[in-house]
Structure 1
Amino acid sequence: MPVFTLILCIVGAVVLSAFLSRFIPKVSTPLVQIVLGIVASQMPFFPDTELDPELFMVLFIAPLLYLEAHNIDKNALLKSLKLSLSLAVGLAVATMVGVGFTLHAVWPMVPLAAALALGAALGPTDAVAVSSLSHEAALSQRQVGVLKGESLFNDASGIVGFQFAIAAALTGTFEVGDAILEFVISFFGGAILGVALGLLINWVFERVRAFGWETTTTRVLMELFLPFLLYLVAEAAHVSGILCVVAAGLLVRFDRTGIGPNVARTNIVASSVWHVLEFSLNGAVFILLGMLLPDAMSASWDDAEISNVTLISIILVVACVVVGLRFLWVAGMLRLARAEDTRARRRMTKERWRSAAVMTFGGPKGTITLSLMFTIPYTLTNGEWFPMRDELIFIAGGVIIVTLLLANFLLPVVAPKRGGDDSREMMEASIEVLRRTVEELAERADDSNRRAILTVIDSYTKRITRLKHRLGGIDPAGYVDLQITALEWEKDYVKERLAEAKIAQKHEPTADGELTIEVCERMLDQIMTTLRHTKTDRDHAMWRLRGRLRSMHRRTVLLMSRVNNMVRRSTPMISEDEIYAHLHAMQINAIDHVIDKLYEEMGRDEYDTEYCSALLLDYRLAESTLKSRPNVGSATALAAQIDEVKRDSFAIELRVIQDMVEADEITRAQARQLRKNVYVMSVDADANF
């Protein structure tokens, strides 16, 4: 039961981290998860956490490395293979040696073999941690390819070096000849076995699919089972399970074979399952880091023989060694690299030094480092406690946090998002969001809703066409500001009509007066809701709260008024057809008011004439569409259905935007702007069709 409770708590913390990361985009998700793990460890209902090192290796490292190898861009990997291998093997060995001898020299209490194990564990980088950052840094495709290739290969080299260092620490002996022979057998044996198993797996999956035996359930289960099977088979054969998993992951291609809707659907489901599993496993590792750090910290912190200042100093020293070695190594590789055209070595310009800094801060330590440190056994072969185990984990955790902080806050500084043509990027992103929304709406069409959906799709098509015409010509932020101002004009117009109707109704109650009040309240509530979503500044927090309270008050008063009229029969009952007809007329009047204001604005300097002209076109199109619709009768049912489809379409847009953020297709700043566009369009005249 405690194990089950622990699993539930970790999963809950991972889910919570996904929500919190949306509200603090400037802080990377791994940092949020580490903090959640620290907080969770202090909760009384969280059980004590102890991990079996071998189980941890199989449960976390094998599937993560398999997925990383399977999804990596093979072409980009081949283009940057030399630099990636240099970082993955050469830098990993240099880090192992540099950290090991430095730590043993400044803190002799740590045995050399154990210090080398720490250095080996700090060799692998965590590309997932980089992709989990605020997406505010601009990395080139080559830089991303090098970092991912390095992360893939140095996992294997770091793990092999770590295992040999731990073996030396456990036995107290280290035979160079035997170690080299064992390394060659383990390294190349694991790679060869992975290649053989990868080819066999491809053949098996192709046969299963060819015979029609594959189903979505069996395919997903077999794929999830695969990395664990590969690792266990390799370990049973006494070769590197990690390299076996990586080699097989690079070769397995069963999700790229076959055609047809069933195959496509199966591939989509498998991809979604792996996406969830990847985030869950990575999140669980960082949650566990936060949960285990306090115990390791307290064990070292409370030890009278170990100075707390020494612990912090050691973390900073090791972090400096790791980061410094990486910067020097990357700079050296850039200096030695030859130009593709002239084959001459290039000088280190300011831009190339900046690139070296980007590659340095873009390689934080994370999942693999922590996983390896957790696999350090508690005792030596002679039964004694492993020396300085808690302190080594504490140092590794501290270095992970330091490198994550550097990546989180310094990487956007050395590689800021280019200003470039932000207008064009936003227009292209908006078109892509609208296109995906149209595709999903089209998939939902059937005989009962086809007319309403086609009407909404037609409006989206017009929006896409207008955006393509404006592409690169209008600043979307400035245009949205004018749209919000137009909404303010609509709000003022409706509030004036509402005040007039209330005064007239107070002196002489009529059915038309009651109808006008209800229509104005509905329109005003919708406009205010949109304005609250578009006011994103913190200064407007109280304004949004007061707006919500006023909205609740308006709805309550309106409901009470209708109930009172229904009981007293003071005015005739108002049908939805009448409300729709009156709302239709009020919308046209509000549009005419905004059009007049836009014409006035064109003679001023507050907004560009181009913005006013573009928005005038939108309002003119919306006005003509509204005037072409019948007011009452059978059109009411269609209008209600169209309104429902519109609400669904806006929800689809918001979900598409979130999917694009998670897929790293747009930045969080662009997502905020796109969401604001959706909220504006939900009330904008163009959205009234």
Structure 2
Amino acid sequence: MEVLELILCIVAAVVLSSFLSRFIPKVSTPLVQIALGVLFAQLPFIPDIQLNPELFMVLFIAPLLYLEAHEIDKSALLKTLKLSLSLAIGLAIATMVAVGFALHTAWPAVPLAAALALGAALGPTDAVAVSSLGKEASLTQRQRSVLKGESLFNDASGIVGFQFAIAAAVTGDFAVGEATVEFIFSFIGGTVFGLIVAVIANKVFETVRSMGLETTTTRVLMELFLPFLLYLGAEQCHVSGILAVVAAGLTIRFDRTGIGPNVARTNIVSSSVWGVLSFSLNGAVFILLGMLLPDAMQASWDDPYISNGLLIGIILMVTGVVIVMRFCWISGMLRIARDVNTGLRRKMTFERWRSAAIMTFGGPKGTITLSLMFTIPYAISGGTSFPMRDELIFIASGVIVFTLLLANFLLPLLAPNHSGDKAAELIPITIDVLRATVEELTGRITPENRRPTLMVIDSYTKRISRLKQRIGEGDPQGFERLQIEALHWEKEFVRDHLAEIKADASMDKAEQELEVEACERMLDQIMNALRHASTDADANSGHTVSQVRGRLRMFQRRTGTLAKRTMSKIRHTTPLVSEDDIFARTRQLQVDAIEHVIDRLEEEMSHDTYDTEHCSALIVEYRRADGMLRSRPNMEGSAAAIRQAEDVKRESYGIELGIVQDMLENGDITRAQARALRRNIYVMQVDADSGI
């Protein structure tokens, strides 16, 4: 029962941290979780925490490393592989030796093997902690790739070194030659084991899929089971389970093969499950750190043989050794690196020194370090307690907190996020959201909703194309202004046509009613497009009046139409014109409006009001739209399909909001960017709910 209470408390703290981190974006989520862990530890019903080291390694490290290896950008990793491996292996070993000897020298009570174990545990960095720093810092793509690659590989090297150091501390015997042979065997054996299992897993999953036996439930459960199978299987073969997990994570690709809505739906569910699991496991580790800190501090604080000032000084010293070693190593690697064009070594300029500092503080310690320290056994051979176990965990915890604080507050100063054009920065993020929405809609296609869903997907595809054009334009604002002006030309054309229809007393009443209805709907579509264009471009308040007028006119027209239909039913007269007739006439009116706009654009090309290239590009767009409208047959049920498409569109806005929330929780976007994205979606959602 106590274990269940502990699990529930940890889960509650993780959930609470996900809410709190949204309101304090400048403080990293791990720091929030550590603070919550300290607070939860003071609750009277929290039981004493004693973790089984091996169980902790399997439950936390194996799935986290598998996910990290599987999700890393393979192409970016290859480009920075040399520097990443240098940091992951060379720097990890150097840090292990430097911290070990420095700690043993400064505090002889700590055995050298135990001090080396601490140094090995402080080798791995936590890229997840950096990504959750509120996105206040602006790291280059190369810097991010180096840090992620380092975090992946030095997890394995640090863990292997830690395990050998702990073995030496427990047995009291350490033979360099034998340890080297065991290290090589464990390294190569673990890698080969992971590759073999990955190949088998790819084959099994693809075979199951080809036979039509794959379901979302079985696929996700089997995928979650895989890292545990890898780790336990490798350990049974006396090779490195960690390296097996990493090798398999880099090789497995069954989730990236296969096409179709079922595969897309399964991949989306799998990604969501892994996202929740990753956040929960990372959060649980830091919550546990906070819970264990008071006991570790209390045991050391009350020990009359250990000076509290010494403990704090040791933490500062170890933190300094880690940072200095890291800065010197990165600076040296940047200095000896050769230019890809000239082949010469480049001098250390101010920017290169700053880059070294950014990558130094961009590698804080976190989940893996703490997880390794938890695996220190309570006793060594002979049954005696492991020397200085609580103190070592306390030192590691202090270093984690200090490096997280330094990364949290120094990175924004070293790499400030100078974003000149917020709207331009939002465009690629918006494209990612729209693409993810299209993928989700594709997975929801059924024979019943195929046509309306494809209509909505087509609208998303066009919107993505427009946004991509804005990225490539030298003057995207100029092209956008021309697009908005063209919409106003369409509006003027339809309004003039509507005035002519209403003024023509000789026209048949039914035909006149059909024309008026088509014009009204066309105007609604144009006003809707103008509102969305203004939203995407953060338009100035000059269009606000027209937007408000459009909404009022829309409400007035729909009220009038409802009144007409009601009176028609009361009088039992012939109903109003059919929706299919209105749809066909509206489409013809669209063709006429497009021809009018093309004529205006060709006329503007002879003037200096707008850029000629912009006019030419927009003419191509309108001609393409004209061709699509003319090629569509006048199918029965078109109006019904449009109504169904409106329902799908409302559903798609909910999907967009969910994707934005996922990106915010994953640290892919800032809170300000999430607010801007939500604001745009809310505007379009209101339009859809209003029937606009």
TM-score bin (small chain): 0.7 to 0.9
Matched, 1:614 2:543: yes
Matched, 1:100 2:136: no
Aligned length: 560
Match of residue 665 from structure 2? 662
Match of residue 583 from structure 2? none
CA contact (8 A) 2:268 2:440 kept: no
Q: State the TM-score, normalized to the length of structure 2.
A: 0.73
SS of the residue corresponding to residue 410 of structure 1 reads helix
Pair 26,635 (structure 1): closer, same or farther in 2 beyond 3 Å = farther
Unaligned runs of at least 5 residues, structure 2: 479-523, 528-537, 567-639
Matched, 1:86 2:86: yes
Give how far 1:239 is off.
1.1
In the TM superposition, what are the counterparts of 1:322-361 in structure 2 within 5 Å? 322-361=322-361
CA contact (8 A) 1:619 1:685 kept: no
Match of residue 674 from structure 2? 671
Q: Distance in 2 between matches of 1:95 and 1:649?
A: 50
Q: Distance in 2 between matches of 1:456 and 1:68?
A: 34
Pair 281,147 (structure 1): closer, same or farther in 2 beyond 3 Å = same
Match of residue 159 from structure 2? 159
Q: Tell me the amino acid that sits aligned with residue 315 of structure 2.
A: I
Q: Distance in 1 between matches of 2:154 and 2:318?
A: 19
Give how far 1:678 is off.
5.4
Give how far 1:348 is off.
0.9
Give how far 1:367 is off.
0.7
SS of the residue corresponding to residue 629 of structure 1 reads helix
In the TM superposition, what are the counterparts of 1:578-657 in structure 2 within 5 Å? 611-631=540-560, 632-633=562-563, 653-657=656-660
Match of residue 60 from structure 2? 60
Pair 457,231 (structure 1): closer, same or farther in 2 beyond 3 Å = closer
Unaligned runs of at least 5 residues, structure 1: 476-587, 592-608
Q: Distance in 2 between matches of 1:425 and 1:230?
A: 41
Match of residue 526 from structure 1? none
Q: Tell me the amino acid that sits aligned with residue 151 of structure 1.
A: S
Post-superposition Cα deviations, 1:286-323, rounded to whole Å, max 9, x if no partner, equal 11111111111100011111111111111111001111
Pair 661,108 (structure 1): closer, same or farther in 2 beyond 3 Å = same
Q: Distance in 1 between matches of 2:202 and 2:309?
A: 55
Pair 416,210 (structure 1): closer, same or farther in 2 beyond 3 Å = same
Pair 621,424 (structure 1): closer, same or farther in 2 beyond 3 Å = farther
Q: Distance in 2 between matches of 1:168 and 1:457?
A: 61
SS of the residue corresponding to residue 377 of structure 1 reads coil
CA contact (8 A) 2:88 2:151 kept: yes
Q: Tell me the amino acid that sits aligned with residue 673 of structure 1.
A: A
Q: Tell me the amino acid that sits aligned with residue 327 of structure 1.
A: F
SS of the residue corresponding to residue 303 of structure 2 reads coil
Pair 251,463 (structure 1): closer, same or farther in 2 beyond 3 Å = closer
Give how far 1:440 is off.
7.1
Match of residue 393 from structure 1? 393
CA contact (8 A) 1:622 1:688 kept: no
Post-superposition Cα deviations, 1:75-119, rounded to whole Å, max 9, x if no partner, equal 111111110100000000010011011111111111111111000
Q: Distance in 2 between matches of 1:452 and 1:252?
A: 36
Q: Distance in 1 between matches of 2:375 and 2:28?
A: 26
Q: Tell me the amino acid that sits aligned with residue 219 of structure 2.
A: R
Pair 162,648 (structure 1): closer, same or farther in 2 beyond 3 Å = same
Match of residue 604 from structure 2? none
Q: Distance in 2 between matches of 1:232 and 1:270?
A: 23
Q: Distance in 2 between matches of 1:8 and 1:464?
A: 43
Q: Distance in 2 between matches of 1:278 and 1:333?
A: 32
Q: Tell me the amino acid that sits aligned with residue 544 of structure 2.
A: L
Q: Distance in 2 between matches of 1:391 and 1:108?
A: 13
SS of the residue corresponding to residue 26 of structure 2 reads coil
Q: Distance in 2 between matches of 1:349 and 1:42?
A: 50
Match of residue 538 from structure 1? none
Match of residue 49 from structure 1? 49
Pair 215,109 (structure 1): closer, same or farther in 2 beyond 3 Å = same
CA contact (8 A) 2:262 2:443 kept: no
Q: Distance in 1 between matches of 2:268 and 2:539?
A: 43
Q: Tell me the amino acid that sits aligned with residue 368 of structure 2.
A: I
CA contact (8 A) 1:117 1:166 kept: yes
Matched, 1:22 2:60: no
Match of residue 364 from structure 1? 364
CA contact (8 A) 1:622 1:685 kept: no
SS of the residue corresponding to residue 44 of structure 1 reads coil
The alignment-based identity, stated in percent, is 68
Match of residue 604 from structure 1? none
Q: Tell me the amino acid that sits aligned with residue 37 of structure 2.
A: G
Q: Distance in 2 between matches of 1:646 and 1:410?
A: 44
Give how far 1:181 is off.
1.2
Q: Tell me the amino acid that sits aligned with residue 416 of structure 2.
A: P
Give how far 1:151 is off.
0.8
Pair 428,616 (structure 1): closer, same or farther in 2 beyond 3 Å = farther
In the TM superposition, what are the counterparts of 1:411-422 in structure 2 within 5 Å? 411-422=411-422
Pair 277,665 (structure 1): closer, same or farther in 2 beyond 3 Å = closer
Q: Distance in 2 between matches of 1:467 and 1:427?
A: 6
Q: Distance in 2 between matches of 1:466 and 1:635?
A: 39
Pair 93,439 (structure 1): closer, same or farther in 2 beyond 3 Å = closer
Pair 194,279 (structure 1): closer, same or farther in 2 beyond 3 Å = same
Give how far 1:432 is off.
6.2
